[in-house]
Amino acid sequence: MELTRLVVLELEPGEAYAHTCGDAEWIVLPLTGPCEIRCAAAPPDPGPQTPDGLEDPAPPAFEAQGFGGGAPEGGRGAAMVSGRGGVGEGPAGTFRLGGRGSVFDGPTDFAYLPRDARAEIASAAGGRFALVGARCERRLAARYGPAAAVPVELRGAGQCSRQVHNFAAADAFDCDRLIAVEVLTPGGNWSSYPPHKHDEHHPGEESRLEEIYFYEIAPHGDTPGVGYQRVTPSPAGKTDVLAEVRSGDVVLIPDGWHGPSIAAPGHDMYYLNVMAGPDAERQWLIRDHPDHAWIRDTWPAQTVDPRLPFPRPEETP
């Protein structure tokens, strides 16, 4: 992918990961568990992309199963890694993230890291953490995003009901290029529906945004979760994907009509959307597929799925 980035960290208790932001802005988003982030100003000459003290650099292998674009070149796109390492000089900020028990436990707090910075992400208790990024030009301030400030939206109705955490939506959190949201879909429902696209620039109607989908699927008892993702070609591109997705899988969408994201019955689906585009204005403008846009007209006569919102009362400690 040209503009979007995704790294998923799996840290053991007491482990840390050294991260160089390079030409991209990043958000550290806990999937499970808490962490502490120390952000340092970038040195005048960043030198190699592997920070000093990082014993095992992030591997170039695309360990998450990806569909729709193959392994990203030069370490770009998406990767699953474990990490150790140190941080550079001059702390620009320290952020302690409380995180959450699972992605179905509601929004989490997060931290924004600017381009050209270096950071260390450490977890005393261990956990899993998504680093979502986008290549950018402006260098903004490192800062903390509280969970209580994340806008939560219940979108759609009936079997198209889903919950959206707009933690880094274009109108919710200031970034240069990055747009990122979380979507939770009850088992048996269709999400990311009607199919839509954002691969052409039409002022006021559609923006150009490439996109990464990262999935977590809830098990049913001892049975691992499964879901499905469809992407069909659009006039602007040829991406054509029908993928079975499981926890840790990734679908890369440089273009095309995407949707539905299908949650199998009994298996709630979570996906993380990471978007960025070349347009001058950072905005999320989509165009529905003309064959399926009618579904939106049926929602006012239906109710939102009663299994929403997450977390459900029986799951709340």
Q: Distances in Å between the alpha carbon of 23 and those of 54, 129, 136?
A: 19, 21, 6
Q: Is beta strand 143-145 parallel, antiparallel or unpaired with respect to 78-81?
A: unpaired
| 264-294 per-residue burial string, b: 16 or more CB within 10 A, e: under 16 | beebbbbbbbbbbbebeebbbbebbbeeeee
User: What pLDDT is attached to residue 129?
Assistant: 98
pTM confidence score: 0.86
Whether the CB-CB separation of 133 and 5 falls below 8 Å is answered with yes
β partners of residue 127 = 11
User: What pLDDT is attached to residue 313?
Assistant: 74
What is the spatial distance between Cα 257 and Cα 244, in angstroms, rounded to a whole number?
Answer: 17
User: What pLDDT is attached to residue 93?
Assistant: 86
Tell me how crowded residue 223 is: count the other CB atoms within 10 A of its CB. Answer: 10
pLDDT by residue (tens digit) across 92-140? Answer: 689 999 999 999 999 999 999 999 999 999 999 999 999 999 999 999 9
What is the spatial distance between Cα 213 and Cα 251, in angstroms, rounded to a whole number?
Answer: 5
pLDDT by residue (tens digit) across 255-270? Answer: 999 999 999 999 999 9
pLDDT at residue 275 tops 50: yes
pLDDT by residue (tens digit) across 306-317? Answer: 999 999 776 555
CA 244 centroid distance within chain:
19
Q: Which residue has the tokens 């846009």?
A: 293
Domains and CATH numbers, the chain: 4-315 (2.60.120.10)
Tell me how crowded residue 169 is: count the other CB atoms within 10 A of its CB. Answer: 20
Residues 6 or more apart whose Cβ sits within 8 Å of residue 102: 31, 32
Helices (H), the chain: none
Residues 6 or more apart whose Cβ sits within 8 Å of residue 184: 103, 104, 162, 163, 164, 165, 268, 269, 270, 308, 310
User: What pLDDT is attached to residue 77?
Assistant: 55
Question: Considering the chain, what is the average pLDDT of its residues?
Answer: 87
- Both structure tokens of 163: 């919950």
Q: Which residue has the tokens 């949201």?
A: 181
User: What pLDDT is attached to residue 44?
Assistant: 36
Strand order in the sheet with 118-123: 15-20, 118-123, 35-40, 91-97
pLDDT band at 224 (very low <50, low <70, confident <90, very high): very high
User: What pLDDT is attached to residue 164?
Assistant: 98
CA 56 centroid distance within chain:
24
- Residues constituting the chain: 317
pLDDT at residue 71 tops 50: no
CA angle 185, 219, 132 (to 5 degrees): 55
